[in-house]
Structure 1
Amino acid sequence: MHRTMGYPLLCICRRGMGSMYNVLLADDERLDLDGLKRLIPWQQLNLQVASAVNSGFAALEYLREHEVDILVTDVRMPRMSGLELARTALQLYPHLKIVFISGFEDFHYAKSALEMGASNYILKPMDNQEFIRTMQAVAGELDGVRARKSKDATFAQSLPYFRNELMRDWLEGRLDPVQLDVQMKELDMGCCSGPYAVAIIEIDDISWKLNAYRQDERIAMIKRQLDYLYVYCQPLAIGLPCRLSSHRIGIVASGSVDRSIFVDMLRLVQEQFLLTVTVGLGGPAAAAEGVAAAYEQAEQALSAKMLCGKGRLLTPSDIHVETAAEARDMDAILANLFQAAVDYELIKVDDCLTELFRFGARLGSKMTVYNFSIHIMTKLNTHLGELNEDLYSMLGLEYTNLEVLYQFETIGDIHAWFRRKLFEVSEMIYMKKQRKSRRLITEVVQYIDQRLGQDLTLRDVADHFFFSPNHLGFLFREEMGESFSDFAIRRRLETAKTYLEDPKLKIYEVAKLAGYQNIAYFSRQFKSLYGMTPGEYRNAKSC
């Protein structure tokens, strides 16, 4: 069979492969079959002989039970020829690679082999080097197929993220109409002409109503409700619903959307879940570029929830201009109050409270003042949640028993109570900050290390730990001395260095394991940090 028995191993340059490709050998000449099995360096070619049989029928029987990547078959075998075997095998596995071996230099056989897409047609007596080159080429084709499938799978996994970010960019006005149209088509999301409406659906009371549950239970309950809202809103949405945060969904809908649909949704949510939802509706916008303004209207409508009530549909036409402005002003004051408490600026805390209770003094009834006070508690607890703190626990209060506020006879009494309690909270935060940041960042680093192969962003990590991205990014830099992004890149590349020492892994596989989908970008970052490309590093380590 073999005309050339020796071959230089240096000619076999297939390092860093993934899992081996399976090869089925079929030849009625037992000596030739044995020679193929023993004298070809299959492992160095990243191939393995799955089975070797001496008839077409035996090969077909094996193929019906096992999938292989490459079929190497003699053309002329008794009862079932290699050509007949190949035709049937291709019906079972259309992407099967086939290499024919024949002792007959017959144009008819060669033509038939090429017509069915054979990778090569090799004549006996066979030259080992020619066979090795053929198998290298076939394995290279399979590598390409594998790389494309991996790329397609990665894209498919990332598609929901890309679509969500596209909708967020549209809502927040970061896309012009041409970009929007192109990207909608690229992501297979469809679109339609205006007018458009924008709805923001927000889960109510997550800062206190779930405090009786464990953190994992709270996360699961909110996720289940958010998933329900997402599915409910899908038929209404142009494009797709957009997950805006851990408790908000935004949608772009037709400007003529029936408001009763949202009213029905509010009722169904109230029947099925512990937490209610409030919907802010903005628009209509005549064209795509007006969606950002409609989104802002929806946010303004939602911001008036405190004064207008929760668990309902709010629209700009339902809200007086002064009411919306007051709600926005109060939200701004609450944000300043929170920041002052965090920074241990007690004078500023007192000033912000005084501003807030100027609003409270204009409220008409004791119940309204009570609701106003509950709203302040809820907002402050939401802000404290960004620091992984709980206002009720810090104050020793039960979230189900806030009658302590209702027992006061005057709004001045409530104001004084808030001042005392917030001074206490501010001091507790100050003391905890001295020892807490290190523990938090240690957990963040562990979380990052466990997910280096994923497309992980600061927003993802912040959502997991219930922090705002800006605040967590600030704490991370303060503790680690580098930004989140720089740390993640360095950690990924350190991981890549370890993987590069495994010669069975290809460079693109290493890149993927380290969290990179673009091998060129991976190589640039690797060289920027280590002064050499991944390939140069691997070669240096193998010497």
Structure 2
Amino acid sequence: MPTILIVDDETIFHKGIQLMIAEMNSDWVVISEASDGVEALEKIAERQPDLIITDIKMPRMDGIQLQYIVKERYPEVACVVMSGYNDFQYARESLRLGAKDYLMKPFDREELYKLLDTIKAEWTHVKDNIGSKMGTEDKQVQAQMRQHVLEGLLTGSVHNAETELLESVGISFPKAYITCLIAKLDRDSVTDERYNQMDPSLFSLYIRQFIQEFVDISMLGYVFILSETQVIVLLSHENDITIQEDIEQLTTRIRHEIHNLSNLTITFGMGSPAKDLESIAISFKEAEMALLYRLVIGGDRLLSATTLAELTSDKFDFHSYDWHALKQSVQEGDKRNAKLHTELLITKLCEEWKDPEMIQQQICQILLHFYELAVNLAIAKTWLKGTDVKQVLMDVCSYSSRKELIERCMQLIGDLTDCIVNRKKKFVASPVELVVNYVEEHFAESITLNMMAEIVYLSPTYLSSLFKSKRGQSFVDFLTEKRMEKAKNMLLYSDDKIQVISEATGFTNIRHFNRVFKLATRRTPSEFREGKRE
């Protein structure tokens, strides 16, 4: 028989509804009740109801937020929303989320009975559908696989030649470009009491479902949760001059709607458009870097290279002599001068800028610039000794003494210079040359961009960008080219079986070898061998 969970912070209402249903003489059974959305989620996980009847206005988590999370976690659970607030905005949002109906308090007994009869008929139809359970399980498996592939795109482990992998899990980017956005909750928009009473991941579930609704309406893309606090958006679009404006408008609508409904604010970080699958990782890293500037200029906005340039153009002068002298000293590994120029630059900032908050913002900008350099050189963790950069910036901003502030920044810049010097000692050749030489010697082995990045002490995304700028082709294309050259020679000048040639050129899967070879030569390996020997 179908079961109901009643969610309302007023005891008189959920007790009254429970009595109404008991007097209905139907199969419906009220299995539990909850006073707000947080408690309701615990009860849903424990009791697995078929229907939730929930109030809108409740403490900790309201009915709208509860619906978003239930839709994400338990799409098979039906919802009915009730409220004493005659507000169309709530009704519209609830119905958009798939609510079966919207009941105004106090509602009529017959109105409730009629609604429950309708929902029961639908519930019975679903239960009688024998294949529905298997279909749900298949969809869950595919959703898990899709999540893994989407995460792989962010790390650069999914290559351009693996379009079949994307298609197998229902992922498609039909437009020419892909832009990565990262959405994060602005922690200061949530009271400590509200935040501590809820699992932080619930905020991300709410934000993810909300963004998905808007993306489905106006753009092509995928929205998924990467971590407890990060919601990722991958948008597929053409490279027209309006894309920055379109994304700005989309994120503004999302931010305003979330704030109006739940009094929360979020900030988006945006990377540059990616031309292929491998470049998505670069767009993701750029979005992460853009989000760090929330510490400098505040949240509740879209942060990107373009918006940052506009927002900070009247602040720190990155063209000044003092700045160039500091940057050059750091890059050259001159620790003594790097610390000296740090002291001079911060002293000048403190003398020229009278607003302490503005001084902190300028220093954060300087340190974020060097953090980006450290990330590109793959020494960020070593430089900050494993501490999160956000914590470092917050610590720097806590100093009220000029002397202490200068000493701390001198220490940070000095440590970075040491890391750069140590990195230079590990190799003197160009990192791209090292990668090229390694591939030419080891093309038959398993080689990945991440592996190469570790060898040359660079981040994968930076190495990918550097390799393409120096060689005019991506790392994966270069690796494939070398393997194809060897495969062609073996096909022409040996009688080895194609399976043997596949393994000797770094392909463990002969089907993948055949597919890549045909893509490169427009012929299968067998056709190539026979055609050249005729």
- If the length of structure 2 is used for normalisation, what is the TM-score? 0.38
Rg comparison, structure with higher value: 1
Higher relative contact order (CA 8 A, sep 6+): 1
